[in-house]
């Protein structure tokens, strides 16, 4: 792929992200919005721009699963060496919510009542002079079952636990703490 092709891919991804963002946010109200920026290598930029071009989302869809007490379910991602929300990549012909539900089942084995969109993060991706963005939808759901069982077919997720106070090594911790405070005071 030449550099001009990378520019074309980024432009195509921008258009898809805009469409995905508007489709998602016009269906939901009351969600929090954030913006994140990642500087990545050229190879990673190409991978993420392709994902955005295909789905509108560079990192798939995720779920904040909570208990009425305010605890949030996190899963341990061995490859990242950090706690994360259950979630992952979008499969062909799968909606964001379907992705979030499938990933929750695989990564934590917990059943939950989905309530809508909790967080929409505009994720900017940069590599030198190239940039694009995508949406990271995070749905919120109240747990129906509370005993996690990890069944991750990828083997990336090795543990799942409930947290009232989120560990320091939680990805997007500031956003999740803000959501937790907004929902539970």
pLDDT digits (tens, 9 = 90+) for 6-54: 999 999 999 999 999 999 999 999 999 999 999 999 999 999 999 999 9
Q: How confident is the model at residue 105, as a pLDDT?
A: 95
Range with lowest mean pLDDT among 28-32, 111-115, 154-158:
154-158
Instruction: Express as a percent the part of the chain with pLDDT over 90.
Output: 91
In order of 6, 25, 26, 90, 130, the CA distances from 49 in angstroms are 9, 21, 23, 14, 10
Q: Residue 2 above 60 pLDDT? A: no
Q: How confident is the model at residue 114, as a pLDDT?
A: 98
Architecture of the structural domain at 3-184: Alpha-Beta Complex (3.90)
Q: Residue 3 above 60 pLDDT? A: no
Per-chain mean pLDDT for the chain: 95
Domain locations in the chain?
Answer: 3-184
Q: Residue 153 above 90 pLDDT? A: no
Q: Give tens-digit pLDDT for 125-139.
A: 999 999 999 999 999
Q: Residue 1 above 70 pLDDT? A: no
Q: Residue 150 above 70 pLDDT? A: yes
Q: How confident is the model at residue 154, as a pLDDT?
A: 84
């Amino acid at each position: 792929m030449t550099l001009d092709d990378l520019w074309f891919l980024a432009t195509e991804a921008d258009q898809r992200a805009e469409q995905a963002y508007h489709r998602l946010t016009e269906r939901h109200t009351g969600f929090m919005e954030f913006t994140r920026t990642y500087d990545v290598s050229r190879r990673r930029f190409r991978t993420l721009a392709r994902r955005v071009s295909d789905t509108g989302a560079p990192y798939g869809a995720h779920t904040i699963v909570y208990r009425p007490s305010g605890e949030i379910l996190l899963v341990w991602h061995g490859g990242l060496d950090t706690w994360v929300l259950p979630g992952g990549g979008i499969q062909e012909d799968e909606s964001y919510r379907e992705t979030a539900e499938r990933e929750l089942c695989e990564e934590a084995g917990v059943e939950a009542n989905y309530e809508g969109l909790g967080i929409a993060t505009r994720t900017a991706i940069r590599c030198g002079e190239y940039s694009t963005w995508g949406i990271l939808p995070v749905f919120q759901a109240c747990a129906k079952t509370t005993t996690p069982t990890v069944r991750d077919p990828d083997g990336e997720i090795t543990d799942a636990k409930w947290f009232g106070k989120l560990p320091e090594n939680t990805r997007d911790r500031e956003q999740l703490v803000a959501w937790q405070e907004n929902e539970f005071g």
